[in-house]
Structure 1
Amino acid sequence: MSDTDSFIDEVTEEVRRDRLYGYVRRYGWIAAIVIVGIVGAAGFNEYRRAQAESNAQALGDAMLAALASNEDDARADALTGVTADTAEGAAILAFMTAGAQSQAGRADDAIQTLQPIAQSPELPLIYRQIATFKSLMLQSETQDADTRRQGFEALAVPGVRMRLLAEEQLALIDIETGNPDAAIARFQSIMDDAEATPGLQRRALQAMVALGGAPEATETAGE
């Protein structure tokens, strides 16, 4: 390469460098804003994650402290005094509180605790379904069979995770209302269902035998 060519290359490189610096001086503020935005968003997301973890840990610690009492009433009252910062946290707290209230013989209080969770549009559907199921269970001695049947039938539909548990309760209502044949048919359906857990299948089998039914052999029934 000649000296002339080297000189031209150097000049060309200097022009490119000057042009680049010119762009930086003219538009560098845009890049700076973008960088600041990216760093700020990452920092904010990290803060939110840390805050959520801190709130969840605080809620867990508060619930554990409330459950430390040996008295059912005291545990229920202590849980009632705990607060949650998120809708999901409030749902979990309500389930714990309703359980303690139920153990203390305060079924009406437990139902009142679950009602807002069952009706909250802010919560995922599964939370509302669990709250509805638990509430119906608590009404077994105070609500008439037809009303409870309607509630469980609304849960015993395809796509609902509580479906088979609701079917089990419907079978028990069949027994309660003097229809053992319908109960046996429901229990057999539970045993034949591929989504039924071994524990649920065993309960269905035991109930069928107690009712004098003859369970049909299935691959899962004997597990």
Structure 2
Amino acid sequence: MSNDSFIREVNEEIRQDKMKALTRRFGPIVGAAAVLIILATVGWVAWDRWQKAEAGASGDQFISALELASDGKVDEAQSALQTIEKEGHGNYPTLAAFRLAGLAADKGEATAVQQFDAIAATGSAAAIVRDMARLRAGLLLVDSGSYEDVSARVEQLTADTNPLRHVAREALALSAYKARRMADARALFEQISNDAEAPGNVRGRAGLMLDLIKSGDGANE
């Protein structure tokens, strides 16, 4: 056997001895880590399945609550929605809160605006849901609030890229008209009227309001 072969065999023996020593020392730790990873994965999969199942149950409860409201059983619908808001899963607590605010608005309850405001401030809610809550609060305040109240909620929704811009502009324009801010009202109604993407009914109302303003009804601020 050559010296080189002998040295290689000695090095190999040393490596094997080191590997055995490392296995004896760290084997239990590596094994425990592997078990923890497996348990964590199994736990996550089980949790995910449970969440989906619970969300599905919340969805069924939400639909039932909507049917109660549609049938005129408002008190029962509110009770069911309050349960979903507190105990539901997935997006259904937020949807339940939104419908509760809508029912409060339908009944003329003063708390409706605060309910929509609370949804708009919920960071976990989808952006479109928060925007719709702002819009609903703003629309309610056209009748009961000031121009500043409405603007604080819908001004950010009037941007050209916002899908709710047409109704948001209309709410702000109506509030401006009510506050005798005719220059602001005219500019907003013209913006709606000139927007080819605005729904026909919204453009039609904007045209009527522009005619009213131009006819001299409150033409001056």
TM-score of the pair, normalised by structure 1: 0.67
Match of 1:155 in 2: 156
Deviation digits for residues 67-87 of structure 1, max 9, x if unmatched?
A: 232115242343234333569
Q: 1: distance between equivalents of 2:90 and 2:138?
A: 22
Q: 2: distance between equivalents of 1:109 and 1:179?
A: 28
Give the length in aligned residue pairs.
206
Match of 2:67, SS state, is coil
Match of 2:139 in 1: 137
Superposition pairs for residues 179-194 of structure 1, below 5 Å? 182-190=184-192
Match of 2:204 in 1: 206
Most deviating of 123-132 and 57-66: 123-132
Match of 1:94 in 2: 97
Identity of aligned pairs, percent? 24
Match of 1:67 in 2: 66
Q: 2: distance between equivalents of 1:178 and 1:112?
A: 26
Structure 2: unaligned runs, 5 residues or longer: 212-221
Counterpart check, 1:22 vs 2:21: yes
Note the C-alpha offset of 1:204: 4.2
Q: 2: distance between equivalents of 1:89 and 1:120?
A: 13
Task: Name the amino acid aligned to 2:200.
Answer: R
- Indicate the RMSD between aligned Cα atoms, in angstroms: 3.9
Q: In 1, are the aligned partners of 2:121 and 2:130 still within 8 Å (CA)?
A: yes
Deviation digits for residues 134-160 of structure 1, max 9, x if unmatched?
A: 22323343x233343343455346599
Q: In 2, are the aligned partners of 1:187 and 1:204 still within 8 Å (CA)?
A: no
Structure 1: unaligned runs, 5 residues or longer: 214-223
Task: Name the amino acid aligned to 1:176.
Answer: K
Change (3 A) 1:212 1:77: same
Note the C-alpha offset of 1:201: 4.5
Change (3 A) 1:159 1:211: closer
